[in-house]
A and B are shown apart, each in its own frame.
Chain A
Amino acid sequence: QKEVEQNSGPLSVPEGAIASLNCTYSDRGSQSFFWYRQYSGKSPELIMFIYSNGDKEDGRFTAQLNKASQYVSLLIRDSQPSDSATYLCAVAAGGTSYGKLTFGQGTILTVHP
């Protein structure tokens, strides 16, 4: 069983719609959760992180965490063609002076005009 699972997609949404990206993880000791965006040929860029159950909003992005269900999601409102990229879910355990991130396989998002 993979430690962090995402639907690989591609997920295609029309411009202006809500894109919903999902991620599940297997380690119940995981403490922090991250969403990275990666454009083709570029390095990953941190979009959101979340530690507590519930929702966290930042502009058009909302991260949702449910530790009981071991589920984290990212909603992108008013999707734009510039949001087209691969979205990586990443999970970290705690208890160290560094963060060892485990990445999911990534979901390819395409926003079409």
Chain B
Amino acid sequence: DTEVTQTPKHLVMGMTNKKSLKCEQHMGHRAMYWYKQKAKKPPELMFVYSYEKLSINESVPSRFSPECPNSSLLNLHLHALQPEDSALYLCASSQTSLFYGYTFGSGTRLTVV
């Protein structure tokens, strides 16, 4: 299995809602990432997990809460988002022994109304 699977593919949520994005990989990768990408912009790093521990938080607002329950799963919990948080949210994973780049999931297109 060489895929990173993200669900849902599309999500529309109100500013008072709580929702979660899910990411799963079975490649044995022990580093997992969340990126945010706005239209016509490059991906921006949000969080890095290495061996299920949070290694990097790029000063992301607390309305985004990551969770790594095990080595295959990565969640992003969303609460009280703003319309400007609408974007493509990308999950990625990578090896830790030798870094050959990320494998990205197909992304979740999030719209906050």
Contacts and interface: CB of A to CB of B under 8 A. Distances in A.
A101 B88 CA distance: 17
Contacts of A90: 101
Given A45-B104, A97-B30, A103-B43, 10 more contacts: A90-B101, A94-B99, A96-B55, A97-B55, A98-B55, A98-B56, A99-B31, A99-B94, A99-B99, A103-B42
Contacts of B101: 32, 34, 36, 46, 49, 90, 99, 101
Interface of A: 32, 34, 36, 42-46, 49, 88, 90, 92, 94, 96-101, 103-106
Interface stretch (B12-20, B44-52, B68-76, B77-85): B44-52
Contacts of B90: 43-44
Contacts, number: 61
A32 B33 CA distance: 18
